[in-house]
Each structure stands twice: as C-alpha cells, then as structure tokens.
Amino acid sequence: MIFLMRNFRKNYWQTGRFWNTIQKIRMTFFRGNIVLILLVMLSMPMVFAQTINAGISGNTSVDLLERLETDVLSHEPDFVILMVGTNDMLNSKKLVSYASYEKNLGEIVKKIKQAGAQILMMSPPPVDSVYLYQRHDKTLFKNTPNEKLKIARNIVKKVANESESEYLDLNQVFSKMNLPEHNKDLFFRNERNSGVKDGVHPTALGYRFIAETVFDFLKTNNLIHSNQKIVCFGDSITYGSGVENGGTVVGENYPAVLTSLINENFK
C-alpha cells in the first residue's frame, strides 16, 4: 500500500499512471470503491512539478545530441535545463573543438524548442586546474582549463541569445566567489573536504548551491508553473557524481535539491 501511494505522489500528473494506480489500489484494497480511493488520494500532498535527472557522467555535447530523443524529448518536457561543456573542454580523451561545441549546442537547443519546451542554458562551473592536470595531459591544453571554460561560457551565452533561450552564467557565479580554491573551499571536492583529488565535481554543499541558484533564477523570472515537467540535461555535474543517488531526483545532487525546493515553495 505504501509503495502504491508513493508511486501515486511521484507520478500524480501523468494521467496514464494516475489511473493505473487507482485501478491497482481499487481492486486490491478497496474492492472497487472508486469514491473512497479518490478521497484517500486527494487528501495526500500533491507534487507541484515533476523533475527528471537526465545527467550522465563523462558526457560531452556530442553524447547529449545523440541521446536527446530518448532521454529528453521522449518525456515531452515543458522545460529543459541544459548544462554541458566540462568534458568537451577538459576531458583529454573526449575533447571537442569550440566550433563543434557551438554547433552541437545549437542543434540540441533547436530540437528542444521544436518540441515546444522552454530552455535554460547554463555555463559549466570553473575547476581546480591543479587536480585536473594530475589526471589529464597538460600538453594537450593550449589554454588553461579555466580559460577554455570561459570561452565555453561565451559560446553558451551566444547560443542562448541567438535562440532566445534563458541563460544562467553559473561559471561567473562561482568565479566571483573565487571558487574553487585549491584544497580550501567546501564547494568542490578536494583532498581536504572529501579525501579525493577531484576539483571538478561539487560536494553536497556545492550541488545545493547550484540548485538554489537555479531555483532563484527560475522563481525570479516566473519560470515555475504547476503541472510542469522539467528535465535536467547534462553530464556528471547534473548526474551528481560524488554524492549518493546520482542520476535520480532523490538525495544531494542538484536536480534532487531543485525538486525539493520547487515542491516546498510552490503548493
């Protein structure tokens, strides 16, 4: 019974699943009493908006373009939050040129808009170059990692402007706070706060900060609506690498925290 109720709350606004759940509970527990089951269900707290975590670790804009149909458009979203570029710029095994990155972003945005969804494009956050160079060949970088991310930031902004999409400069938000700071800050995983030489992926605090920043942007710009289906589309920073329940909307990753913020503040 508890499982069915949770399933109802999670998928309340998906009509097909709504009636399937009613039918299961009706026949199993209430012997066909549809009035009683509706009264029970309608007394439960409703989910204001549904959020889907469509982040996959290691993905570049090439990967996102390839899985756009199956992982995003198939959900028929109302709103898509797009953040990709860290691997395009910094993963030495999957580097993507600036021109290809811009072209891929343009194609992704075009297809999402053709499907009728709104888009928020976010620039990827800065990184700790000290740790990054320990994992990737420094000679492959003509520009420093954060210089490359600044160029990517400008590309994201350009595509957003040209496509009339929403734009949130997450890179600039962190840069103004002088983050990450090697082995000192609490927002990006490092040897001191997490016991790992990372410098790219946020800590639980960092993911919460991203979620709060996104939530404030959406709220300020009146982009949150009832019955809304939101897909967070991106790489490991969307997925939630480094914290539990990555790839879901439960736990400490940014889509999970964003989901909680929306449903706690909009009822």
- Cα gap 84→139, rounded to integer Å: 23
- Cα gap 183→186, rounded to integer Å: 9
Q: Which helix (H) or strand (E) holds 120?
A: strand 118-122
What's the pLDDT score for residue 36? 57
Q: Phi first, then psi: what are they for 221, rounded to 5°?
A: -95, 15
pLDDT per residue of the chain (267 residues) written in tens, 0 to 9 = 433 344 434 444 344 444 444 445 445 554 555 665 555 545 555 668 899 999 999 999 999 999 999 999 999 999 999 999 999 999 999 999 999 999 999 999 999 999 999 999 999 999 999 999 999 999 999 999 999 999 999 999 999 999 999 999 999 999 999 999 999 999 999 999 999 999 999 999 999 999 999 999 999 999 999 999 999 999 999 999 999 999 999 999 999 999 999 999 987
The CATH number of the domain covering residues in 47-265: 3.40.50.1110
**Chain centroid, CA 261 distance in Å:** 14
What's the pLDDT score for residue 48? 81
How would you classify the pairing of strands 228-234 and 166-168?
unpaired
Q: Among the residues of 85-190, which ranges form H helices?
A: 86-90, 98-114, 129-135, 145-163, 170-176
What's the pLDDT score for residue 37? 52
Helices (H), strands (E): how many in the chain?
13, 5
Question: What are the residue ranges of CATH 3.40.50.1110 in the chain?
Answer: 47-265
What's the pLDDT score for residue 38? 55
- Cα gap 267→256, rounded to integer Å: 17
Per-residue DSSP letter, 88: H
Question: How would DSSP label each residue in 217-244?
Answer: HHHHTT---TTEEEEEEESHHHHTTTST
